[in-house]
Amino acid sequence: MKLSESTTGPLPGSAKIHRSAPGRPDIKVPFRRIELGGGEKPILLYDSSGPFTGQEPIDLAQGLPPARSWLEGRGLEARQALAPQGLEHPAPRTIRRRPEGDEAPFTQLECARAGIVTDEMVYAAAREEVSPTWLRDEIAAGRAVLPANVNHPELEPMVIGRKFRTKINANFGNSALSGAGPASMADEVEKMAWAIRWGSDTVMDLSTGQHISPLRSWIMRNAPVPVGTVPLYEALERADGDPLKLNWEDFRDVLIEQAEQGVDYFTIHAGLRLAHVPLTASRVCGIVSRGGAIMARWCLAGHRESFLYEHFRDICALCRRYDITLSLGDGLRPGAIADANDAAQFAELETLGELTKIAHEMGCQVMIEGPGHVPMDKIADNVSKKDAFCGDVPFYTLGPLTTDVAPGYDHITSAIGAAMIAWHGTAMLCYVTPKEHLGLPDRDDVKEGVIAYRIAAHAADLAKGLPGVQAHDDAMSRARFAFRWHDQFNLALDPERARAFHDGTLPKEAQKSA
Sites for a copy of itself among residues 281-340 (CB under 8 A): 284-286, 335-339
CA triple 429-432-438, angle to 5 deg: 160
DSSP per residue over 150-207, as a string? TT-TT-----EETTSPPEEEEEE---TT---SHHHHHHHHHHHHHHHHTT-SEEEE--
Q: Strand (E) positions, 230-289? A: 265-268
Q: Compute the least distance from the CB of residue 31 to a copy of itself, in Å.
A: 16
Q: Does 103 bind a copy of itself (CB under 8 A)?
A: no
Q: Compute the least distance from the CB of residue 35 to a copy of itself, in Å.
A: 17
73-81, 150-158, 313-321, 434-442 -> range binding a copy of itself (CB under 8 A) = 434-442
Q: Does 367 bind a copy of itself (CB under 8 A)?
A: no
In the chain, what is the greatest distance between 2 CA atoms, to the nearest angstrom? 73
Residue 293 exposed, middle or buried by CB count within 10 Å (0-12, 13-18, 19+): middle
**Contact letters for a copy of itself, residues 438-467 (x by CB under 8 A):** xxx-x--------xx-xxx-xxx-xxxx--
By beta-carbon proximity to a copy of itself, the closer residue of 319 and 416 is 416
Q: Does 163 bind a copy of itself (CB under 8 A)?
A: no
136-144, 148-156, 343-351, 499-507 -> range binding a copy of itself (CB under 8 A) = 499-507
Q: Does 28 bind a copy of itself (CB under 8 A)?
A: no
Q: Compute the least distance from the CB of residue 445 to a copy of itself, in Å.
A: 9
By beta-carbon proximity to a copy of itself, the closer residue of 207 and 261 is 207
Q: Are 342 and 332 in contact (CB under 8 A)?
A: no
Count of residues in contact with a copy of itself, rule CB under 8 A: 69
Q: Are 288 and 272 in contact (CB under 8 A)?
A: no
Q: Does 416 bind a copy of itself (CB under 8 A)?
A: yes
Q: Does 498 bind a copy of itself (CB under 8 A)?
A: yes
Which residue among 26, 59, 444, 473 contacts a copy of itself (CB under 8 A)?
Answer: 473
Return the closest-CA partner of residue 8 out of 16, 315, 22, 248.
16
Q: Does 492 bind a copy of itself (CB under 8 A)?
A: yes
Q: Does 358 bind a copy of itself (CB under 8 A)?
A: no
How far apart CA 193 and CA 223 sit, in angstroms, is: 8
How far apart CA 275 and CA 272 sit, in angstroms, is: 8
**Nearby residues of 475 by Cβ (< 8 Å), 6 or more positions away:** 36, 40, 43, 487, 491
- Report, in this order, helix, strand and coil percent for the chain, each rounded to 5: 45, 15, 40
By beta-carbon proximity to a copy of itself, the closer residue of 117 and 336 is 336
Which residue among 82, 281, 405, 510 contacts a copy of itself (CB under 8 A)?
Answer: 405
User: What 3-state DSSP class applies to 17?
Assistant: strand
Q: Does 376 bind a copy of itself (CB under 8 A)?
A: yes
By beta-carbon proximity to a copy of itself, the closer residue of 290 and 502 is 502
Q: Does 486 bind a copy of itself (CB under 8 A)?
A: no
Q: Compute the least distance from the CB of residue 288 to a copy of itself, in Å.
A: 9
Q: Does 480 bind a copy of itself (CB under 8 A)?
A: yes
Q: Does 407 bind a copy of itself (CB under 8 A)?
A: yes
**47-62 b/e (C-beta count within 10 Å ≥ 16 → b):** bbbbbbbbeeebebbe
Q: Does 477 bind a copy of itself (CB under 8 A)?
A: yes
Whether the CA torsion 61, 67, 70, 75 is positive or negative: it is negative
Which residue among 98, 191, 385, 435 contacts a copy of itself (CB under 8 A)?
Answer: 435
Q: Does 470 bind a copy of itself (CB under 8 A)?
A: yes
Which residue among 24, 238, 437, 443 contacts a copy of itself (CB under 8 A)?
Answer: 437
By beta-carbon proximity to a copy of itself, the closer residue of 362 and 420 is 420
Q: Compute the least distance from the CB of residue 318 to a copy of itself, in Å.
A: 36
Which residue among 387, 412, 443, 468 contacts a copy of itself (CB under 8 A)?
Answer: 412
Q: Are 253 and 287 in contact (CB under 8 A)?
A: no
How far apart CA 159 and CA 139 sit, in angstroms, is: 9
How far apart CA 408 and CA 35 sit, in angstroms, is: 37
Count the neighbouring beta carbons within 10 Å of the beta carbon of residue 392: 18
Q: Does 90 bind a copy of itself (CB under 8 A)?
A: no
Q: Does 50 bind a copy of itself (CB under 8 A)?
A: no
**195-223 b/e (C-beta count within 10 Å ≥ 16 → b):** bbbbbbbbbbbbbbeebbbbbbbbbbbbb
Backbone angles phi, psi at 229, to 5 degrees: -140, 170
Q: Does 504 bind a copy of itself (CB under 8 A)?
A: yes
User: What 3-state DSSP class applies to 491?
Assistant: helix
Q: Does 279 bind a copy of itself (CB under 8 A)?
A: no
For a copy of itself, the binding residues (CB under 8 A) are: 284-286, 335-339, 375-377, 402-409, 411-413, 415-416, 419-420, 423, 434-435, 437-440, 442, 451-452, 454-456, 458-460, 462-465, 470, 472-474, 476-478, 480-481, 488-489, 491-494, 497-498, 500-502, 504-506
